[in-house]
Structure 1
Amino acid sequence: MLFPSLKPILAGNAAIDLVWLALGSAPMAEFAAHARPAAIVLDLQHGLWERGTVEAAIASTGQRVPVIARCADNTHAAIAQALDAGAASVLVPLIETVDDARRALDASRYPPRGSRSAGGVRPLLGGVAAMLEADTQVSVGLMIETVAGVENAQAIAALPGIDYLFIGTGDLSLSRGSSDPDVIGHDCAQVLAAARAHGLPCGIYTGSAEAARQAHGQGYRMAVAASDIDLLKQGLQSALAAAAPA
């Protein structure tokens, strides 16, 4: 494995604080790694990342921090590109059914465990044997972020080969047609219960360090402690407010 695996962290009991990066900046990824979060998430679905900057961002983290790639979608091409870049984990969005989950798992593994195509510049640096060994260290996370996904969470979590579930609270609110904290909290609790029933860590998208701390207290292993968009926005607003004449 060229880069750190997420699997040993998932196997432990410690809280996993994430930094979520969407602005497509490889230097920002390097700064994030320097802060030593448990893992970094590159948002390839809604973020500004291009393939070259993804490769550079993963390279810039060195041997310090595992990188999770939130894939653009649940396709072989999107998953393969993230893993070919050296991501320690793929986080596959919009998983609603067992078939969706099976498709994500299949695309994430080389034969005979799946149908991922062999190749890519980085996977082959150490040769074919090293490439196949790295495959055993890849973690597959599935995003539950719709009402259908919540309803099928128990069946999804029962599939062999899943490493963790992760709740996308924003899309879940859209799917439910409600941002009521009690309603969304009930949905999230169902997914958390499904993950726990099958021995899987469960993560959740949180908008602040305080929300991440609360999520850990509720039993979620993974939570977003910071995002580049929010940090930049808050930092600029704070600086300008402080500089304004009294």
Structure 2
Amino acid sequence: MWICSGSPLVAEICAGSGLDWLLVDAEHSPNGLESILAQLQAIHGHPVQTLVRPPVNDTVLIKQYLDLGVQNLLIPMVNSVDDARAAVAATRYPPEGVRGVGSALARAARWNRIPDYLGSAAGTISVTVQIESAAAVEAVEDILAVDGVDAIFVGPSDLASSMGLLGQQEHPDVRAAVGHCLTAASKAGTPAGVNAFNPTTARHYLDAGARFILVGADVALLARGSEALASEFIPPAVSDDGPTPPVSY
């Protein structure tokens, strides 16, 4: 599930739920370096895998995330082979990549308490790239062939938008594009995941070859759960002009 609240307490609750993986998101959520660090610390020790998504495929941000101790990255908006290569290079020290060296200052190396961290770090990091545009779908076979891309993750929402189908994640053309990516990943022997909050759609993608899937989010569960309580126990407010309109911001 997504962890979007920015709260270490919520992250810890989710980490102990029995779910097998969490995504701490900084692309569409109020997460900075400090809150990501606190959530990693809260999740640590629970039997759950944690991915972290930066807001952008940026070498400097990826360096900072890795030094915090992030080991599994989900890189958004990877639309081409060049994008995928840049993401991988950001996770590797020279000469294989461009990651800056700061292990003596970094939680990732336990402040130089991990012997030969510089030589072994690449083997402790996974790079999952996000396929979420029509261009990325078209290039997916080439993206999958990039050395260092460990998995792909398909985002149907942005994919639908790029296809001129904003808000229509369930459109047959979008589902077909997702299916194309899952098939390509299977042929390449690379794990592929997908976002699907609709249980029927989630099961469809699992049957189509998805190896991992996001089926909920902390903030969405809280929103829908609190709405359900309100619906059950609070009568709707009605004025002479009809129901009270929603609050705008």
Q: Which runs of 5+ in 1 are unaligned?
A: 1-18
Q: Which runs of 5+ in 2 are unaligned?
A: 237-249
Q: Does 1:220 align with 2:210?
A: yes
Match of 1:36 among 6, 14, 18: 18
Rounded to whole Å, the distance in 2 between the matches of 1:242 and 1:131 is 56
User: What is the one-letter code of the residue matched to 1:202?
Assistant: A
TM-score (norm 2): 0.86
Q: Does 1:63 align with 2:48?
A: no
Q: Does 1:144 align with 2:149?
A: no
Rounded to whole Å, the distance in 1 between the matches of 2:10 and 2:179 is 33
Partner residue in 2 for 1:182: 172
Helix, strand or coil for the counterpart of 1:73? coil
Partner residue in 1 for 2:143: 156
Helix, strand or coil for the counterpart of 2:100? coil
Rounded to whole Å, the distance in 1 between the matches of 2:30 and 2:134 is 27
Count of residues paired in the alignment: 228
Larger radius of gyration: 2
Instruction: Answer whether contact 2:3 2:218 (CA < 8 A) is retained.
Output: yes
CA-to-partner distance for each residue in 1:65-108, whole Å, 9 max, x for gaps?
A: 22111111111112122222222211111111111111011001
Instruction: Answer whether contact 1:95 1:145 (CA < 8 A) is retained.
Output: yes
Partner residue in 1 for 2:95: 112
Percent of residue pairs bearing the same amino acid type = 29
Runs of 4+ with deviation above 6 angstroms:
none
Match of 1:129 among 109, 116, 132: 116
Instruction: Answer whether contact 1:66 1:88 (CA < 8 A) is retained.
Output: no
CA RMSD of aligned residues (A): 1.8
User: What is the one-letter code of the residue matched to 2:37?
Assistant: E
User: What is the one-letter code of the residue matched to 1:182?
Assistant: P
CA-to-partner distance for each residue in 1:123-179, whole Å, 9 max, x for gaps?
A: 231246135434312110000101110110111111121110000111111100112
Rounded to whole Å, the distance in 2 between the matches of 1:89 and 1:221 is 16
Instruction: Answer whether contact 2:89 2:97 (CA < 8 A) is retained.
Output: yes
Partner residue in 1 for 2:159: 172
